[in-house]
């Protein structure tokens, strides 16, 4: 009996075109991992902004939306598995593109490493809650999780995207349920310790200015890290120039709404007075605390499990995206073997192995040098990744401005130039606030990113590399 199913087509590089807009959106959502993100980053923002932690996410949502304008517009003209590498390479030139891809690859690797460490942290919290009486070193947990990621990341890409979506949907439903219960109990006067529904989640500590909000916004930007992930599926989506822009907008809208609901519920759930804020900022597992306080111990433990699953989705997504970017860099630089090798399933197997191996190196270095535990090790890796990510955003946004408004025929109404310009200004300012005037070890992290970029810049000047990259990018868009 004949089948009416159309087999997946392949691109010139061997990747299969088999994804729909829902798959691309799922990849971005899974890469952001909203459930895992809000299990920890809300407390980080509250540590800087107190009861007004919501503003860190509002600031980041506005900035990311402005930056996303450039990604959405460029994705209508450029489709490539290299994501930011291709967007910048086509708009600003091959060396700038190579450097952007190099930065994004490092961002995904370090964010993946941080997410893997965080799995160990929350697993330890779960074991303690269940009265296990023992803990497991986060480095051991990381190795086990990395092995699972290595197995899954080599599967067909539609398996990855759907795994990411399923992992998030269950967790999002549980966290949304908790958030609604918290707000209802606050509104009906049945919340613990007499807490009530109020607008205090918008109040900021005395003397808080834009500079402080921008410093806290690193947690918000980190929460949205990966929104651009769908762009890495430009050669695996059936109609990329139509579906990738849609996927980016869907991912930001859905996850942005989830973040705002979650951070408001967390802030009010703990309480916006001094005692509540102190408890929130010191919380090791906010889901567990609030689930137990507002529903029951069973929900607290279930939400911790959901956070672990979500963090696994982030780890899988970041390794998968990093591998695709490295594959694109290697292939377009002229390599036909090694980094550019594909598995029988169409996955960039060697590049994925390198991405996972480098994430393991990051964790080993942290395990040997960071003596203050898994939580700080998590934040260190995530902060480095966010700074590298913002560098990639700067280059992509600058490329969008040039391509859309100042090269050839205008591809968007002139007045819209204000959107990416504002986005560029906000991202640069956030980088500045998180690179200047900080205490060690956070003051070291910008130098780590700079060192990585210097290596990438040096590689981009290898004889003939720029010409090969330019030719391959032009060929891929013809």
Q: Find out whether 385 and 115 touch, Cβ atoms under 8 Å.
A: no
Q: Which residues contact 392 (CB under 8 A, 6 or more apart)?
A: 84, 88, 100, 101, 103, 104, 107
Name the burial class of residue 132, with classes exposed (0-12), middle (13-18) and buried (19+) by CB atoms within 10 angstroms of its CB: exposed
Half-sphere exposure of 200 (CA within 13 A, CB side): 20
CB atoms within 10 A of CB 438: 15
**Dihedral sign (CA 368, 370, 376, 380):** negative
Give the Cβ contact number of residue 439 at 10 Å. Answer: 6
CA distances from 241 to 111, 137, 234, 263, 413 (A): 27, 45, 8, 34, 19
Which residue, among 93, 181, 107, has the nearest Cα to 460 in the 3D structure? 93
**Crossing angle, helix 21-32 and helix 157-187, to 10 degrees?**
60
Per residue in 219-251, pLDDT (tens digit) is 777 788 778 878 777 777 778 888 888 989 999
Gap between the terminal Cα atoms of the chain: 38
In the block, which residue shows the tokens 């998968």? Answer: 320
Q: Which of 270, 289, 272 is nearest to 280 (CA)?
A: 270
Residue 283: predicted pLDDT: 85
* Residues of the chain where predicted confidence (pLDDT) is lower than 70: 1-18, 80-82, 154-164, 167, 335-337, 345-346, 476-478
My answer on whether omega of the bond before 67 falls inside 30° of 0, hence cis, is no
Nearest of 249, 283, 251, 254 to residue 266 by alpha carbon = 283
The full set of domains in the chain, from first to last, is 19-392+420-473 (1.20.1740.10)
Helix axes 157-187, 286-294, angle to 10 degrees: 50
165 contacts: CB under 8 Å, gap ≥ 6: 22, 26, 29, 30
Q: Do 371 and 343 meet the contact criterion of CB atoms below 8 Å apart?
A: no
Distance between CA atoms of residues 368 and 366, nearest Å: 5
The HSE-up count of residue 323 (CA atoms within 13 Å, CB side) is 30
Give the length of the chain: 478
State residue 159's pLDDT score: 67
Q: Among residues 167, 174, 145, which one has the least CA distance to residue 30?
A: 167
Within 10 Å of residue 8's Cβ, how many Cβ atoms? 16
Long-range contacts of 436-443 (CB under 8 A, 24+ apart): 441/380, 442/383
pLDDT at 288: 87
CA dist., res. 146 & res. 109, Å (int): 12
Report pLDDT for 344.
72
């Amino acid at each position: 009996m004949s089948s009416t199913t159309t087999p997946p087509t392949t691109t010139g590089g061997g990747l299969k075109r088999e994804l729909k807009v829902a798959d691309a959106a799922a990849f971005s959502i899974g890469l952001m991992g909203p459930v895992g993100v809000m299990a920890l980053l809300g407390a980080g923002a509250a540590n800087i902004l107190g009861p007004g932690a919501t503003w860190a996410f509002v600031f980041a949502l506005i900035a990311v939306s402005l930056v996303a304008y450039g990604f959405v517009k460029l994705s209508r003209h450029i489709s490539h598995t290299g994501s930011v590498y291709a967007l910048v390479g086509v708009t600003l030139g091959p060396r700038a593109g190579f450097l952007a891809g190099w930065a994004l690859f490092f961002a995904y690797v370090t964010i993946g490493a941080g997410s893997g460490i965080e799995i160990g942290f929350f697993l330890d919290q779960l074991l303690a809650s269940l009265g296990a009486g023992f803990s497991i070193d986060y480095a051991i947990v990381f190795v086990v999780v990395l092995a699972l990621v290595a197995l899954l990341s080599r599967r067909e890409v539609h398996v990855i995207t759907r795994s990411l979506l399923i992992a998030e949907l269950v967790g999002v439903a549980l966290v949304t349920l908790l958030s609604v219960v918290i707000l209802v109990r606050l509104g009906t006067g049945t919340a613990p310790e007499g807490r009530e529904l109020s607008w205090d989640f918008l109040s900021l500590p005395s003397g808080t200015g834009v500079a402080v909000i921008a410093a806290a916004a690193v947690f918000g930007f980190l929460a949205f890290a990966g929104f651009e992930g769908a762009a890495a599926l430009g050669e695996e989506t059936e109609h990329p120039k139509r579906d990738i822009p849609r996927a980016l907008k869907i991912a930001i809208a859905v996850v942005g709404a989830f973040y705002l609901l979650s951070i408001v519920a967390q802030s009010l759930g703990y309480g916006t007075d001094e005692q509540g804020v102190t408890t929130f900022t010191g919380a090791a597992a906010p889901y567990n605390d609030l689930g137990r306080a507002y529903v029951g111990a069973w929900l607290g433990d279930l939400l911790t499990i959901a956070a672990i699953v979500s963090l696994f989705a982030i780890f899988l997504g970041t390794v998968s995206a990093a591998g695709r970017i490295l594959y694109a860099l290697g292939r377009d630089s002229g390599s036909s073997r090694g980094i550019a090798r594909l598995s029988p399933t169409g996955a960039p197997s060697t590049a994925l192995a390198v991405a996972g191996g480098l994430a393991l190196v990051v964790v080993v270095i942290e395990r040997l040098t960071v003596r203050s535990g898994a939580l700080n090790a998590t934040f260190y890796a995530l902060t480095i990744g966010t700074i590298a990510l913002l560098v990639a955003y700067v280059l992509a946004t600058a490329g969008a401005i040039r391509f859309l408004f100042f090269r050839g025929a205008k591809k968007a109404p002139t007045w819209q130039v204000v959107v990416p310009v504002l986005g560029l200004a906000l991202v640069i300012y956030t980088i500045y606030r998180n690179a200047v005037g900080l205490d060690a070890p956070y003051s070291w992290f910008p130098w780590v990113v700079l060192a990585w970029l210097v290596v990438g810049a040096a590689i981009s000047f290898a004889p003939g590399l720029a010409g090969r990259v330019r030719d391959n990018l032009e060929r891929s868009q013809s």
